[in-house]
Structure 1
């Protein structure tokens, strides 16, 4: 994204949509199903299903773990966006470095603008790159964000802040995750408000 586009998106989001180019939320239905799948022991699946999955994608377990971290990060981030404060969340358990800095900047803008999020954003994340052989294992997640249920309100009046008319209702974002001490962390997050999906 060009710097001017990025700044325009941040400016619009801070005042009009509480950083719609950055703020997203997990679909609670998708998240709970994925958590349940991740929490089940491998022996709970039928032997034929387990063996076919393993042969089809030997990295399926790591991809699932990375996606789970990404979704949980957004669960915690949405808790913060709903009150314009990181306090009482576990955001630092799932996000760090540049990603955490971006989210904290969002919260500063929200507080200054006097807005909070009351709606949701849909997700359609997928692991599009996985490198487990390097010294620092990394994963890239590409997400299609859905603004159709997104809602930002002004704290003082309760008025809904409409999305800008030029804002695509579905747009792309990417996240980079690194595996630290056996668990995945989101280290960068980049929204592309001008890329429809």
Structure 2
């Protein structure tokens, strides 16, 4: 999901990405909402965040199957641009924890929600 999300943020829209293959429900809504806000402000992104993720719990016996993923997201190589001007906040936390909920939809695992925790650097 993160690769397709980054692609959407670079181009300012989710079309021409495979974001819906990997994200659904609240996660997809959050991304679409952020994309809308960035488009309204004329902001796009350059570079690529780095992600280190691990499965922290899994419930395969459930229907749908569910899992929790804990991710360390490093955005130090990712910057917000308004035109060609870097508008990335200099005080912004650049490495932080993201907790994601994933579940099966049909036979596909998708991220259905995530919470960003900028209080816990990783």
Shorter-normalised TM range: over 0.9
> Aligned equivalents of 1:160 and 1:145: distance in 2?
20
Contact 1:119 1:152 in 2 (8 A): no
> Aligned equivalents of 1:90 and 1:162: distance in 2?
26
State the 1:168 CA deviation. 2.2
Structure 2 unaligned blocks of 5 or more: none
User: Which of the pair has more CA radius of gyration?
Assistant: 1
> Aligned equivalents of 1:159 and 1:95: distance in 2?
30
SS, match of residue 52 in structure 2: coil
**Alignment equivalent of 1:130, drawn from 47, 58, 65:** 58
State the 1:121 CA deviation. 1.1
* Alignment partner, residue 139 of structure 1: 67
Structure 1 unaligned blocks of 5 or more: 1-72
SS, match of residue 64 in structure 2: coil
* Alignment partner, residue 16 of structure 2: 88
> Aligned equivalents of 1:187 and 1:115: distance in 2?
25
SS, match of residue 47 in structure 2: coil
Q: CA RMSD in A?
A: 1.2
* Alignment partner, residue 180 of structure 1: 105
State the 1:86 CA deviation. 1.3
SS, match of residue 112 in structure 1: helix
> Aligned equivalents of 1:189 and 1:177: distance in 2?
9
State the 1:179 CA deviation. 1.2
SS, match of residue 106 in structure 1: helix
Give a deviation string over 1:10-39, Cα, whole Å, max 9, x none.
xxxxxxxxxxxxxxxxxxxxxxxxxxxxxx
TM-score for the superposition, normalised by structure 1: 0.59
* Alignment partner, residue 87 of structure 2: 161
SS, match of residue 68 in structure 2: strand
State the 1:152 CA deviation. 1.1
Larger relative helix fraction: 1
State the 1:171 CA deviation. 0.7
